Amino acid sequence: MLAEATKFEDECLAELSRAADPAALEAWRTRVLGGSGSLKSLMGRLRDVPKAEKPAVGQHLNGVKTRLEEAFEARRAELASRGASGPAIDITEPGTPPPDGRRHVLTRTIDEITEVFGRMGFTVAEGPEVEDEWHNFTALNIPDGHPARDPTDNFYMGGEGAGEGRRLLRTQTSTVQIRALEKQRPPIKIIACGRVYRPDTHDATHFSMFHQVEGLCVDRGVTMVDLKSTLFHFARAYFGEEAEVRMRPSFFPFTEPSAEVDMKMKVKGEWKWVELGGCGMVDPNVLKAVGVDPEEWTGFAFGLGIERIAMRRYGISDIRWLFENDARFLRQF
């Protein structure tokens, strides 16, 4: 009986390996593994085996059964992967499109801002996020010992000693005014968008990392009128034809005179003045720091918070949502 079972197994496996299409495979399955198939009738004969041999023969027959079933599954998988059981996928069906990626709402805002200023003739400049004290402070007329340099208001990198050698995460994009003027002599008309860092406590309108757009225009005869009209055109182009700009006197070490910029825009259906940043006429000391003669050249500069702009434009009421990376939120824009 044992020898017969082995012979049966060998023959079945040989037949199975000749089954080359789904119909032949199914015929083999019915003939061998089916309810009234040959395996069943072989196993039925266990009844006639003498009692003493039953356990060994029974175990052997179970092994035959398992091996035949496994061989069948393996053969079926093999044929399917070869495409013999018909194509595994229907290539005429429309596919499942992968989900579309999209720009983050801040990236989109930066692109839009760049486009508006680009139309006004501003080119794009860049500077590093890890800065030295010269570009972040000294050249911007913020001397040693100035409270703005306080370690509690800045992210300094390691302790390489005091003075111009120390590095820090830039606190404002005004650093790019200096970088641009070091590279290019006036006339110059640039904007710079990028990340800045401040140890501010997080709340609905403040984050410790945020973005600014810096603008700088240095030429002969540039006045405050140019500054205001530039901001005015930006406001109209970006927030709509009814938007307005207001300047409130303020102080920045690198501009004189200086002002806060507010824009009037619709917030939830109501017109409101919203503070977006600072601006002013480039301080003569800044021009001197980069070797530009303030008697010949004058300029204006501004720096606006990009999150604040995006929040107003897209009706986002909490800055923290911009940085949580929750796709359900980001998908809306």
**Residues at the site binding ligand FA5, with contacts judged by CB under 6 A:** 172, 174, 198, 200, 206-207, 210, 212, 252, 255, 258, 275-280, 301-303, 305, 307-308, 319
CA 195/CA 224 separation, integer angstroms: 27
AA letter at 148? A
CB of 258 to ligand FA5, least distance (A): 6
Asked if 301 and 214 touch (Cβ cutoff 8 Å), the reply is yes
CB of 226 to ligand FA5, least distance (A): 14
Structure token pair of residue 247: 């300047």
CB of 155 to ligand FA5, least distance (A): 12
Asked if 193 and 215 touch (Cβ cutoff 8 Å), the reply is no
Q: Which C-beta is closer to ligand FA5: that of 69 or that of 112?
A: 112
Q: Which C-beta is closer to ligand FA5: that of 65 or that of 136?
A: 136
Q: Which C-beta is closer to ligand FA5: that of 68 or that of 227?
A: 227
| Strands 188-197 and 209-219, sheet pairing | antiparallel
Q: What is the DSSP string of 237-297?
A: HHH-TT-EEEEEEEEETTEEEEEEEEEEEEETTEEEEEEEEEEEEEPHHHHHHTT--TTT-
Burial of residue 317 (CB within 10 Å: 0-12, 13-18, 19+) is exposed
Q: Which C-beta is closer to ligand FA5: that of 46 or that of 120?
A: 120
CB of 260 to ligand FA5, least distance (A): 7
CB of 96 to ligand FA5, least distance (A): 40
Q: Which C-beta is closer to ligand FA5: that of 68 or that of 196?
A: 196
CB of 109 to ligand FA5, least distance (A): 13
CB of 213 to ligand FA5, least distance (A): 10
- Per-residue DSSP letter, 62: H
- Per-residue DSSP letter, 41: H
Q: Which helix (H) or strand (E) holds 304?
A: strand 298-305
Residue nearest to ligand FA5 (CB): 305
Name 141's Cβ contacts closer than 8 Å, sequence gap at least 6. 253, 254, 283, 285, 286, 289
Q: What is the DSSP string of 187-254?
A: SEEEEEEEEEE--PPP-SS--SEEEEEEEEEEETT--HHHHHHHHHHHHHHHH-TT-EEEEEEEEETT
Q: Which C-beta is closer to ligand FA5: that of 57 or that of 263?
A: 263
- Residue of 224, 221, 243 whose CA lies nearest to 232: 243
Q: Which C-beta is closer to ligand FA5: that of 19 or that of 299?
A: 299
Q: Which C-beta is closer to ligand FA5: that of 109 or that of 172?
A: 172
Structure token pair of residue 293: 């003669």
CB of 332 to ligand FA5, least distance (A): 21
AA letter at 248? R
Q: Which C-beta is closer to ligand FA5: that of 61 or that of 304?
A: 304
